[in-house]
Structure 1
Amino acid sequence: MKKNLLNYKGLYGDNNQRDFGDFVHHELLATRSKLYDWEINEHLHTDLFQIFMISSGEGVLIQDTKKISLKAPCILLIPTNTFHGFEFQSDVTGEVFTISEQFIETIFKNTPLILLELNKAKQYSFDSNNFNLNDFIYLKNKIIQAISENNRYKQISLQSLFQLFFIGLHHLDNAVEDQKETSNNRTLGYFHAFQKLIKRTLPESKLIKEYAQELRITPVHLNRVCHTLVQKTALQVVHEYGITEAKKYLLYSSYSISEISYLLHFKDPAYFSRLFKKQTGQSPNAFRSNNSPENRN
């Protein structure tokens, strides 16, 4: 097992540091998958969001200790900082769009509800004759065309096309809670900014009042924002992120429990172990043993 997480600063296999800005990239699904014999090891991209459009064939998404079947036609969204891997059949066809987190935030800066939805990996499955699928295929082709062009309106075109693409997916998603739909943009904006602050700083390194100060609201207001949108306190949101990060290190690195505890700025290993067991029902050692890649079917 590698000491550290497999975290690519660029595309899979590319570790070159760069400023992605409004980065948008397209390639055929086979282009990179074939190089790795159709198996992509579990990894993450810190600053890149990916869209997989699978046109034919099948595959498996490996995420959070689970194997999830992918059957064409489907669209798969992989948010930034999400550990994932793939096993594809050799006859699979499709496209992969990779876009920077900054690009996503630019096009939806006034629509934080969609930013909130894009925080989780999600698969959309279609029948081959579904008229909604035809709309996404049309937008996909227009995006590919816009990427290949070189004119002064390229960035505006791409922003508009991706807006239509993601809004189309938003309309398909029936799981959005009424509370979130009716929450005002300011509440959603605070929550998204809170999530960014947690991600930017190690989760246990700040007090809730310090997060609230950076957002220029009170701790009571921050708790109300979190409860409205996810029915959790601000501290529970921070703990949830910390435990999610800890799971990655437990499964995909050889760091000890103590090293992970200090790496994520928990008070001490004993506190980390208690919190982890309270959140997951298992001790860190038991979670690592029961869910390690070597023990999966």
Structure 2
Amino acid sequence: MKKNLLNYKGLYGDNNQRDFGDFVNHELLATRSKLYNWEINVHLHTDLFQIFIISSGEGVLIQDNKRINLKAPCILLIPTNTFHGFEFQSDVIGEVFTISEQFIETIFKNTPLILLELNKAKQYSFNLDNQDLNDFIYLKNKITKTISENSSYKQISLQSLFQLFFIGLHHLNNTFEDQKELSNNRTLGYFHAFQKLIKKTLPESKLIKEYANELRITPVHLNRICQTLVQKTALQVVHEYCITEAKKYLLYSSYSISEISYLLNFKDPAYFSRLFKKQTGLSPNIFRSNNSQKDSN
């Protein structure tokens, strides 16, 4: 039987198709983890963003075939469409917020820089006496209380509280260069929209000029935006997404190289293999073999 990617439309273990809208969910870390003996298989959520707040204990995040230690207190962000799994100690204490992508895009539609930051998984570690940690715990408690309320202003309150939460993390994030800070919202908005278009389509089925047309800008303008923000051409951004998706299939499915190339809408598996090797330095077969050996060690 062919092994496919473990992709949950809802929360872990829930694969019911639904329209999440402005979905926000809160639960204790133990609620779901305990059901699976504290081991969460590697999976992704297509439309859901997650925040893990671990206040006590330890665990391991499994991502991109790497094992990343999690030690409390810490906050972990898992973006949509990101493969991840966990191994928690049974005494771990924490909470999980699960938010729809639409909810995040609504609250940050005028600040696309933060949306750009939220594209990658990130762990924030704290000392117990850190004032920033106290601020996040205060906001976490306010969010939890608001979720349980039945107020006419519940949705507005949640939007404001999550804005403060993510803006607080943004101030801790020193990975973005000054030029990104100086980029105007219009430029960042175009880039975010470009990323969404890539995600929605099978990348190899579209030309850069077609993406540009949908954004109502010229291909030259789109390339300039990509160069400014990520120092890549628009085509390189598309190829980077293709390779990231290909790695998921190579690591977490049993599809053949040819099948993966067709799933990503490459018309020629040989071209897919050449592009993959150019981007990673390894052929798809060797990449899969090397990472399979890591799993067995």
- TM class by shorter-chain length? over 0.9
1:98 and 2:98 matched: yes
Superposed, 1:1-297 pairs within 5 Å as: 3-292=3-292, 295=295, 297=297
Report the Cα offset of residue 176 of structure 1: 1.4
Write the distance in 2 (CA, Å) between the matches of 1:18 and 1:72: 34
RMSD of aligned alpha carbons: 1.0
Counterpart secondary structure, 1:77: strand
Report the Cα offset of residue 179 of structure 1: 1.0
For residue 40 of structure 1, what is the amino acid of its counterpart? I
Write the distance in 2 (CA, Å) between the matches of 1:186 and 1:248: 32
Report the Cα offset of residue 293 of structure 1: 7.6
For residue 216 of structure 1, what is the amino acid of its counterpart? R
Runs of 4+ in 1 over 2 A off after TM superposition: 292-297
Write the distance in 1 (CA, Å) between the matches of 2:108 and 2:217: 22
Write the distance in 2 (CA, Å) between the matches of 1:44 and 1:55: 24
For residue 157 of structure 2, what is the amino acid of its counterpart? S
Report the Cα offset of residue 2 of structure 1: 5.1
Q: Tell me, which stretches of 5 or more residues in structure 2 are unaligned?
A: none
Q: Is the 8 A contact 1:74 1:123 kept in 2?
A: yes
* TM-score, normalization by structure 2: 0.98
Report the Cα offset of residue 151 of structure 1: 1.4
Q: Is the 8 A contact 1:257 1:269 kept in 2?
A: yes
Write the distance in 2 (CA, Å) between the matches of 1:7 and 1:293: 24
Q: Is the 8 A contact 1:251 1:293 kept in 2?
A: no
Report the Cα offset of residue 62 of structure 1: 0.3
Report the Cα offset of residue 65 of structure 1: 1.2
Q: Deviations over 1:60-108 (max 9, x none)?
A: 0000111000000000000000000000000000000000000000000
Q: Deviations over 1:217-244 (max 9, x none)?
A: 0000000000000000000000000000
Write the distance in 1 (CA, Å) between the matches of 2:175 and 2:105: 22
Counterpart secondary structure, 2:102: helix
Identity %: 89
Write the distance in 1 (CA, Å) between the matches of 2:54 and 2:152: 31
Write the distance in 2 (CA, Å) between the matches of 1:124 and 1:293: 30
Structure-2 change in CA distance of 1:104 and 1:2 (3 Å):
farther
Write the distance in 1 (CA, Å) between the matches of 2:130 and 2:2: 43
Q: Tell me, which stretches of 5 or more residues in structure 1 are unaligned?
A: none
Work out the number of aligned pairs and report it. Answer: 297
* TM-score, normalization by structure 1: 0.98
Report the Cα offset of residue 292 of structure 1: 2.5
Q: Deviations over 1:117-161 (max 9, x none)?
A: 000000000001100000000000000000000111000000000
Counterpart secondary structure, 2:86: strand
For residue 161 of structure 2, what is the amino acid of its counterpart? L
Q: Is the 8 A contact 1:22 1:102 kept in 2?
A: yes
